Amino acid sequence: MSLLFDPGFVILREDQSVKLFNIILVMSQVFGGMAVLLVTIWMSKFESGFAWSEDPDKEFNYHPTFMVMGMVFLYGESILVYRVFRNERKKFSKTLHVILHSIVLVFMLTALKAVFDYHNLHKDASGNPAPIVNMVSLHSWIGLTVAILFCTQYAVGFITYFFPGMPIPIRQLVMPFHQMFGVLIFIFVSITVAMGISERAAWKHTCWTKEGQMCAQQAVSSFVGVFTFLYSVCVLLLVLNPRWKRQPLPEEEGLHHLTSSHSMTD
């Protein structure tokens, strides 16, 4: 396994390596786009669409939609910035990285509000308040942990590398941990999404839990999980291959050597 991520272990010529990179990149965009499209179809067509707190049942639908859009797709795109734009100036890549992460943060907080409102403002069939207890499932425990980790990662990264920006020695110290936790959080997000899809399907999709048959709703939700998994695999392949690591441009040489030759995402 170590050979696969050894920059000195070369199987493909440079042109073949670039072609493989482009193929996996295109595949990642197709898979990620399909995950976003299908979760939107799932929530809008099969779960009655969207609303705010005046209709908590529909407000919940923002939760899976924004989590897949933000914590899966846009988070993955933010990680890929340093791979896709590895020939651009680092300031451009860093700014885009921060912007994408900021959008992810907004999506994530909105998604969390949606699910807590769904529980706290829930009403029974007669319209009377009937709150649902929060934080009882394994999905919720892991999900909230991942959300806290992401917020911590965002805050540390923003302060250290963007504003106000820490001295170079501190950046050098933090960078390996910033990279490692960024990838680990992304992996945990994919796992949490899969758990959430299974939990929602078990609660709401009576076609297979009661009627014992596959239906369009169940198929769509399952494909959301499949495409999320495939997208995550593609992102990890692109990120973990050191041959596709961004190299400093000539004008950047000697400025901010924050990572070693074995760094993952920068």
The residue-averaged pLDDT of 53-75 equals 97
The residue-averaged pLDDT of 221-227 equals 98
Q: Is the Cβ–Cβ distance between 71 and 100 less than 8 Å?
A: no
Q: Which residue has the tokens 């990642």?
A: 28
| Third-level CATH fold of 14-263 | Four Helix Bundle (Hemerythrin (Met), subunit A) (1.20.120)
The band of 140, judged by pLDDT with boundaries at 50, 70 and 90, is: very high
The band of 253, judged by pLDDT with boundaries at 50, 70 and 90, is: low
What's the confidence (pLDDT) of residue 252? 62
Residue 180 identity (one-letter amino acid)? M
For the stretch 22-30, contacts whose Cβ atoms lie closer than 8 Å and that sit 24 or more positions apart, written own/partner, are: 24/234, 24/237, 24/238, 25/80, 25/83, 25/84, 25/234, 25/238, 27/230, 27/234, 28/76, 28/80, 28/231, 28/234, 28/235, 28/238
The band of 69, judged by pLDDT with boundaries at 50, 70 and 90, is: very high
